[in-house]
Amino acid sequence: MKTRLLKSKVFFLILGIGLTTSIFAQSTWRYAGNYDAVLGLFDDQHFVVDDGNRDYKFSTDGGATLQNLGLSVTSPKSIIGVEYLSVSRLRAIVFTGSNLEIHESLDGGLTFSQLGNVFPTSMAVLNIAPQMVSFDANESLLQTKVLYNSQLIPVLFRTLDGGATWNIATTDTFAFVDLYSMSIYPDGHIAAISNLPQGVELSTDKGQSFTATAAFPPLNSSVKIAFDGGQNIWITDVAGSQNADCYYSADGGATWQAWLTAEDAMDLKYTNPSNIMLWGTDDTTALSVDGGNTFNTVHFPADKPLGSLLRLQVGGNDQCFYISDGSAKLWIYDLGASIGFHEKSIAGDLSLYPNPAKDHIVLSGLSSDLSSFKLEIQGFDGRNYPVSSEMLSKDRISIQDLEAGIYLLRISSKEGGHQSLTFIKR
């Protein structure tokens, strides 16, 4: 990744002295452990792994402890993916050798029930990790490759009954004969790059229809794409002597231009409202919170990812990125703010005052006392400040020991809801 990407800075603007919510960016990936495979992740605390030889486990405390997943899978079956709809609702994708089974847990992974099979008998499924995104409890899309009439094709399947039955999502089975990249988002928009038809196609109706964009420089199988569901599209790793490495469009694909702040990026992931994480050619990552205009480097600890099988993913809460490498080591980056699509707020009208504050801050709108929530305070320098029970009094937090500056208060409920509020200590 070029020097100008790594050295550009994000500036946080606090407008006025009233309550604000903010995207807060830590500066370092958190190393979470070494596993046989990383199957799915909701946030920095909740994820599912294969701990070796189909020993499937889940964590609710960031990897400090692992519990046995309540889904018994024996050879030749294997779990090839887990989707988190919330911290308690999980859907596991099981490869049987001839089909994909969908299983669901409503208690965080302790027990599962089978929902249904994805493929009709005319298609032969491959042991390739699919991409599944659920828009709600009933409707989901699953994209993977299958053998159909002796051809290897990517297919997009849809369920409208929670996974009991699945059908081809598009009217044309061969809609993406040579698919390079597809990104599906929880609010229903999709971006696809393929060779046949050649170019970039977009959907804003959960894959029911796709619209082709303007002509694009020659594409290749390594390109990656991100789409905000509106007018902004970003593409990385476009190889070729006559091409830039990265491009973006600010008008829905009508025109394209070189994305210079992301030059030489190999992979990217996007989350609402305007966060982009990039993976660079020199094993560095960078985060933008302004739609790719500026970036800050996100560092790795001493234990860095190695090998060629690196995967950059987004957590189920839509506010967490994670990376696994060829040896299935896991790194997690939590944006630390904003309520994601699957994530729920802990209160409908949460507010904080006074702001700025000198001695204490008061929260209103909570469903119970502060002592029943997990509280974290983060400084904009990346440091964490513990919140002890002695600092709490019903709805009040003492901040007397904090130095003057800007801080982020993150409140988490036992049910998995999160909300983050910015305040100023005088």
- Residue 268: strand pairing partners: 278
Output the pLDDT for position 81: 95
Output the pLDDT for position 287: 92
* One domain for residues 238 and 387: no
* One domain for residues 325 and 361: no
* One domain for residues 202 and 319: yes
Output the pLDDT for position 13: 28
* One domain for residues 327 and 356: no
Sequence-distant (6+) residues with CB within 8 A of 150 are: none
- The answer to whether the beta carbons of residues 119 and 133 sit under 8 Å apart is no
Please state the rounded mean pLDDT for residues 95-120: 94
Q: Is residue 131 part of a domain?
A: yes
Q: Is residue 399 part of a domain?
A: yes
* One domain for residues 62 and 160: yes
Confidence of residue 117 (pLDDT cuts 50, 70, 90): very high
Q: Is residue 22 part of a domain?
A: no
Q: Is residue 3 part of a domain?
A: no
The pLDDT tens digits of the residues spanning 29-85 come to 999 999 989 999 999 999 999 998 889 999 999 999 999 999 989 888 999 999 999
Q: Is residue 87 part of a domain?
A: yes
The pLDDT tens digits of the residues spanning 126-152 come to 888 899 999 999 999 999 888 777 778
Instruction: Look at 189-193, 357-361, 386-390, 400-404 and tell me which has the smallest mean pLDDT.
Output: 386-390
* One domain for residues 365 and 245: no
From first CA to last CA, the distance across the chain in angstroms is 39
Please tell me whether the peptide bond between 356 and the residue prior to it is cis, using omega within 30 degrees of 0. yes
* One domain for residues 259 and 366: no
Its domain, for residue 385, covers: 351-425
- Judge whether residue 16 has pLDDT over 60: no
- Residue 99: strand pairing partners: none
Sequence-distant (6+) residues with CB within 8 A of 188 are: 135, 204, 205, 206, 229
The residue that leads in pLDDT, 186 or 367, is 186
* CA–CA distance, 30 with 269 (Å, rounded to integer): 18
* CA–CA distance, 316 with 118 (Å, rounded to integer): 21
Output the pLDDT for position 7: 32
Residue 30 identity: R
* CA–CA distance, 96 with 280 (Å, rounded to integer): 36
Instruction: Beginning with the edge strand found earlier in the chain, give each strand of the sheet holding 233-236 in spatial order.
Output: 224-227, 233-236, 247-249, 257-258
* CA–CA distance, 259 with 218 (Å, rounded to integer): 16
- The answer to whether the beta carbons of residues 142 and 130 sit under 8 Å apart is yes
Length of the chain: 426
Instruction: Beginning with the edge strand found earlier in the chain, give each strand of the sheet holding 90-95 in spatial order.
Output: 78-84, 90-95, 100-105, 113-117
Q: What is the CATH number of the domain that holds 403?
A: 2.60.40.10
- The answer to whether the beta carbons of residues 67 and 109 sit under 8 Å apart is yes
* One domain for residues 325 and 406: no
* One domain for residues 283 and 218: yes
Q: Is residue 21 part of a domain?
A: no
* One domain for residues 171 and 225: yes
The pLDDT tens digits of the residues spanning 219-269 come to 778 899 999 999 999 999 887 766 788 999 999 999 999 998 887 888 999
- For the chain, the domain total comes to 2
- Judge whether residue 199 has pLDDT over 60: yes
* One domain for residues 242 and 359: no
Domain boundary among 334, 368, 385: 334
- The answer to whether the beta carbons of residues 220 and 180 sit under 8 Å apart is yes
State what percent of residues in the chain have pLDDT above 90.
Answer: 42
* One domain for residues 369 and 328: no
Confidence of residue 107 (pLDDT cuts 50, 70, 90): very high
Confidence of residue 91 (pLDDT cuts 50, 70, 90): very high
Q: Is residue 340 part of a domain?
A: no
